[in-house]
Amino acid sequence: MEVTTEVLKGPPVEETSSSGRGLAWSILLTLVTLNVFNYADRSILSIAIEAIKIDLGFSDTQMGALQTVLYIGVGLITLPAGVLVDRWSRKKALALMGFLWSLATVGTASVHSFVVMMMMRFGCGAGESSFHPGGAAWLSAIFSKETRARVISLMHVGAFIGSIFGVVLGGYLIASTGNWRVPFYVFGAPGFVLAMILVFIRDPAPVVDKVAKGQSLFSEFKEMVKVRSFLFTIFGAGFVNVLFITMMSWLPALIMRSYGINEARLGAVMGIAFVPGAVAPLIAGFLADKFQARRADGRPLLASIIVAFVAVGAVLQFWFVGQVSLTVFTIMLAIFTFVTNMTIVFFQVITMDVMPLRNRGKAASLCVLVMFLGFSWWGSLLVGMVSDMYGGGCDGLRIGMLALCPFPFMGSVFYYIASRFYPADSAAADEMDLHELATH
């Protein structure tokens, strides 16, 4: 029997009343805070690489595999999780994800073997799989299209704050306690509390299932992949994500090896360098909304331009690491991180724009699935293998990172192609939403 989903529609919740606006912003704040710990949990491993290698005797290839398996977990589970978001309950699905990744993070602290740690990292990725796209789908249902990029950009701000938080505080905890396991306990626990808070928040735009009406899941996904701007956006974001994910996984180790610093000083360096990047998604969201108001293809075209700058910056970043002073490199990293973080807003906003409301959670999850299983999962493993091939150390790791630099250039091209189809696809999605609102 086929099952379809309707969403209770009407004016965005933020526009209905002061109480509606308060509820919308409460949901946003809770999702952003939970996303902070999502990315803190994800980033701890990168700061603990050297300590784990010493304690457990892992190679660079094994450490790369631990990073890779997390993203395999994200890719494999994101689609069924996205279906839960669209067809079951947004808040319950997102709360369940928060509970699962927190459990796996705490579990990572207790393991002593490579195989069990692989299982914990896979569980962490599975829990995190559709939280970001599911959260974006929920926010798109309660905030207006005109403010969509700015609202979703706040989720990305939370992600980046979490990444900084995990690296800075995680590095301090490892250096001060001499135990790499401590930050996994510290960052894993708050997720349980925040997940429970999410369960008790009222959903102002709940999902309502209806049986034997509309499309099957297969036909819905078939409909999604016909949207050309969506497909080209997936490829654009995928090529950028190869660099972005791998950089987050290996950059801490590369800096430590290049400049001979410990985890505490590394945390301070990355904290300083990453602070400007925390506001980059907000600025990108503001520019995307303004650019879109001026041009029908504004959002994907702006993405193409920014990704081109990222591609140039990546070459400079990894070419000069270890060859310039730590102060100069920190400034370079701050600029590069700022520009790179501007890109992370676009794939979700474009997806929300070109998909009707009933498909947004599934479409965003499909995008993540292709991005991670098609692109991102192999980046960290490849860099670890290349590093071992070239003898490890600073030079081997730097060569591995430089090998990834062509991919953001390709991402820029695909975003530009997406911009050619975006106006018609966005208009079609708006028309479909209006038709469904009128008929229900």
Average pLDDT for consecutive 10-residue bins of the chain (440 residues)?
Answer: 39 51 84 88 84 87 83 80 75 88 91 91 86 78 76 79 84 89 91 88 63 59 86 92 83 87 80 80 85 90 95 92 92 91 85 83 77 77 84 85 90 96 92 71
- Is the Cβ–Cβ distance between 97 and 129 less than 8 Å? yes
pLDDT value of residue 437: 66
pLDDT value of residue 421: 95
pLDDT value of residue 91: 82
pLDDT value of residue 1: 30
Q: Which of 343, 366, 382, 89 is nearest to 239 (CA)?
A: 343
Q: Would you tell me how many other CB atoms lie within 10 Å of the CB of residue 398?
A: 24
Report how far apart, in Å, the C-alpha atoms of 336 and of each of 238, 244, 292 are: 19, 11, 25
**Neighbouring residues of 78: CB distance < 8 A, sequence distance ≥ 6:** 129, 130, 133, 365, 366, 368, 369, 372
In a domain, 102, yes or no: yes
In a domain, 262, yes or no: yes
SS3 category, 6: strand
Distance CA 227, CA 426 (A): 10
pLDDT value of residue 233: 93
Distance CA 440, CA 438 (A): 6
Half-sphere exposure of 148 (CA within 13 A, CB side): 24
In a domain, 11, yes or no: no
In a domain, 152, yes or no: yes
pLDDT value of residue 301: 95
Tell me the β-bridge partners of 2. Answer: none
Q: Would you tell me how many other CB atoms lie within 10 Å of the CB of residue 414?
A: 23
Q: Which two tokens stand for residue 143?
A: 């905030």
The burial class, CB within 10 Å (0-12 / 13-18 / 19+), for 119 is: middle
In a domain, 179, yes or no: yes
In a domain, 291, yes or no: yes
In a domain, 3, yes or no: no
**Radius of gyration over every alpha carbon of the chain, rounded to an integer in angstroms:** 21
pLDDT value of residue 225: 83
Number of domains making up the chain: 1
Domain with 263 in it: what CATH number?
1.20.1250.20
Residue numbers of the domain that contains 129: 16-201+220-439
pLDDT value of residue 12: 52
In a domain, 215, yes or no: no
